[in-house]
Structure 1
Amino acid sequence: MFSKNLKYLRLQRGYDQQSFAEMVHRSVSTVSEWESGKYTPKAGVLADIAAIFGVKIDDMMTTDLSKSMNERLIKQTVSTMRRLHPARQEKVYNYADDQLKQQQNENVISLDDERHKRQPMLLHIAGTVSAGTGEYLPDDDTGDDIPFSGPVPDYDFAVRVNGDSMEPMFEDGQIIFVKKCDDCDIHSGQIVIADLNGDAYVKKIDIQPDGVRLVSLNPKYKPILVESFDDFAIQGIVML
């Protein structure tokens, strides 16, 4: 329920993920993970979020605020209309009817628009990242340009997955989009592109007091422990 309420309240206030992330001092990918239901923020952050939207933490976690707020707004509107003179009631009705017609027209998508959306774009693939044993990702601008017609998030570079260790989230050969991480805030549980001793991996990062592990989602693969002597860097966060 938290993820649904967060997205509803954010959109209701007109915040995009970037601006909201800045308000709570977190990364865009963290906000995206909250809204997808993968993670829930800790109690202190929950309190800050509830305060931003002026709601109770319990309601944020257990109540469908989209329904409760809409129902309250409808009741308030009906109560107000009953106190209006008939001529003013008619004006309110005419305005509401006009808004409904505009909404219905906005929901109509022409066949030409749909055909245009299906037209593939030319997507540059920077290289390949391994979901298993590691693979070299070049630093230069070499790579392939391929036609791509799927949804594209805000990203810095795209790579292709090699291997099955990140299934079921990412399949062998799948294109994934990455946001560069020059000095970003990395959290345990994020899916990252990690450079370990010259090899590039796509893994879930597990940050613990005693060290860092690169974790596969496919249980048949063991986690990779990052040692203190390893050459290790995070190249980016996978945009989900």
Structure 2
Amino acid sequence: MAFKDRMKEARLKKHLTQEQLSKKIGVAKSTLAGYEGGNREPSMLTVSKIMDALEVDANFLWQDEMENNFPEKVSYDELEIIEKYRLLDNYGKETIGYLLNRELDRQTQINHYHNGADDHSMSNHCNSTSENASDNVIFIDTYTQSASAGTGQYLDDDSFQKLGYPANRVPANTDFAVPVAGDSMEPEYSDGDIVFVERSEDVAFGDIGLFVLNGEGFIKMCDPKGLVSLNPAYSPIKINDDCSFKTIGKILGKL
């Protein structure tokens, strides 16, 4: 891509027409069309106005012409991310850094599987906890759908993705993780929490477990009355012989 293409890319990302941008920088629409067509060259003053209007810098506009200086190309979307990152405080930057490293580790792990580097791991990764080469991150099979801490939510047995979590936050014996939806298990478990589950069909009375009742996933306390919420605003859910009921596992902790 050349200067003309980068300018057009930035204009489209700003959702500006040629006419709108031409008015912002004080040139005729036909002149701007000439810039984007590569038939005309803007003056340095006009270039300055273009950069201000599109919120880009010279490095972005001319990176393709200076490949020796910019071997890695930057798209407009990536440039926006950089600009937002610069506005963050140190805590925000550390948070983004952690997320980037976590996602990079996850993608590396996925590529490792897809490249067939470890056939044994490939055949068993859906049912096991996988530790990354880094001691700081553990990859856990995680439901893409939430289990309800409320009135019930459909839970698909096959809807997993492998996500990385801080190793020191994952309880021993964790088999998988699931997001929480609803407030029926507050104050212990809140909407948006991630809970870690040990797969088991035997959850004792008084323990918190993951259950599937008539196709809907519930995080509840196992009780002789049925599935009981910690939030007193919710009544116990009774289980009878007409129900399709299954115990999935025991909740070990949360993130």
> TM-score under structure 1 normalisation?
0.45
Greater RCO (CA < 8 Å, at least 6 residues apart): 1
Q: Which has the larger radius of gyration?
A: 2
